[in-house]
Structures are given as C-alpha cells and as structure tokens.
Amino acid sequence: AHEELLQSRKMEALGQLAGGIAHDFNNLLMAISGSLELLQRRLPDNPQIASLIDNALQGAQRGSALTGRLLAFARRQPLEPQLVDLPCLVKGLRDLMQLSLGRDIRIELSAQPAVPPVMVDAAQLELALLNIATNARDAMPDGGLLGIRISHEEAPSAHGTDRMLAPRVCLAISDTGEGMDEETLARAADPFFTTKGPGKGTGLGLSVVHGLLEESGGRLVLKSTKGEGTTVEMWFTAASAPQGQLADTSVQTSDKGT
C-alpha cells in the first residue's frame, strides 16, 4: 500500500509537469499557426507555396489537438468511456502513427469481420496507441514491420454454468524490433521504468496504457522475445452496442492524396 501511495504521488507530480509542458507547447503551436495564417494571407498567389503553408498549418493543428489530449490527461480528468469501434479508430489514427514511425517502418493492419464495439475513452486509447508505436519505432532503428491485428473471441460460457460471458476483443500491436529479455519484460509496465537513458524515455508509456486498460475493465498483456520482437495485446470486454450509437472516433487527418 505504501508503494502504491508513492506511485500515485509520483504520477501526480508528473501529471503536473506534463500539464505545464503541454500548456506551453500549445501556446507555441498557436503562435506558429497564427504566423502561418498571416503569411498565407499576405503571399501573392502561388499554389506551391500555398500548399506548403497548408501542410505546415495542418501539422500545427494536429500538434495542438495532441497537446489538448495531453492536458486532459494531466488534469486527471475522469475517463470518458464511450462505445468505440476499434477498426474504425485504428484506421483513423493510421496516418498519424505512420508519421511517428517514419518511412522505414511499414504498418500492416488487419481486422476480423464483425468485431463488436468496446467501452473505452477513445482519446486516451489513441494516446496509448501512439505511445506503443513510439516504443516500436525505438525498438526498430533500422526499420521493420508494425502489425496491428484486431480480433475477437467467441463468447465463452462461464465454467460450470450455461451463463454466457461477454466476448473479448483484442487489439494486438507487434513489432519486429529488438525485443526484451525476461527481466525487462517483467518491469516494462512499471511507472518510470525505462532503458532508454536520461532525457530519452520517461518510463511512463506502458504504465499509462496499463492504467487505461485496468480502468476500462480490460487487460494489458506483453509478449516479447529478445532479438525477435514484441507484441502488446490490449484486451477489452465487448460492449453490446445499440445500432447507430457508435461514437465517431476517427481523428482528423488531412487529405494528402493530391
């Protein structure tokens, strides 16, 4: 219990720190957006420059949306669970994930048909996925594959009775990176555990993911083999969704097709 208290104090202090940084960062991004908008208005018509400025503006706006979420987290606002369609959420986040993975890592996304929705805070889940993608990137400095698989299990019947349990839904993210030895794997989700050296890792990524799943009635399962790669499994309990009540969880991504 003492350790738990210590841990929650650490998290609180860190939350305040992160909140402060997110706030300052957001102000910076606002200044950048403002200047870009001015520039956009004053420049003579030049479609090439206009589209460059547009790209920069969209980047700043995405950054601002992310810091907003970070702020919400740091303020320890209560989670806002909602019905989430996982394949839809992941598809909406794909561009942003690819951006943080870089060009040498390929995303392979697969989803079983008819995955039932789950109850979870969509914004927090997106942050969790970005954290996991960052870890995967760090584990694959020479590039590789990020596999995202969404699957569900048939409803198992509770042992010894005929009562049906809710089906379980799994969102698994695997990388072909350096993997972890047993000792690292055992501690990976501990708050402030990091092997990334000072200034690089906070050791909070996986502990935050773990916390989110615990609070959403789910479970985090880590599997890893040194030298082969890591799989992060996020298990949820399926929610029964009345038709047409799915939250729109797709993040805003730009249309870069032109």
List residues near ligand ADP by CB under 6 A.
131, 135-136, 139, 175, 177-180, 184, 188, 193-196, 201-207, 230
Q: What gap in Å lies between CA 97 and CA 197, rounded to an integer?
A: 23
Which residue, 70 or 180, has its beta carbon nearer to ligand ADP? 180
Which residue, 33 or 207, has its beta carbon nearer to ligand ADP? 207
Which residue, 33 or 135, has its beta carbon nearer to ligand ADP? 135
Buried-state track 44-83, b at ≥16 Cβ within 10 A, e below 16: eeeeeeeeebeebbbbbbbbbbbbebbbbbbeeeebebbb
Chain centre distance of CA 47: 35
Which residue, 59 or 201, has its beta carbon nearer to ligand ADP? 201
Which residue, 115 or 220, has its beta carbon nearer to ligand ADP? 220
Q: How far is the CB of 71 from ligand ADP (least distance, A)?
A: 19
Tokens of 94: 């794909």
User: What contacts 210, CB < 8 A, 6 or more positions away?
Assistant: 189, 220
Q: What is the DSSP letter of 231?
A: E
- Token pair 């998290």 in the structure block, residue: 11
Q: How far is the CB of 101 from ligand ADP (least distance, A)?
A: 12
Q: What gap in Å lies between CA 50 and CA 224, rounded to an integer?
A: 46
Q: How far is the CB of 210 from ligand ADP (least distance, A)?
A: 9
Q: How far is the CB of 132 from ligand ADP (least distance, A)?
A: 7
Q: How far is the CB of 111 from ligand ADP (least distance, A)?
A: 21
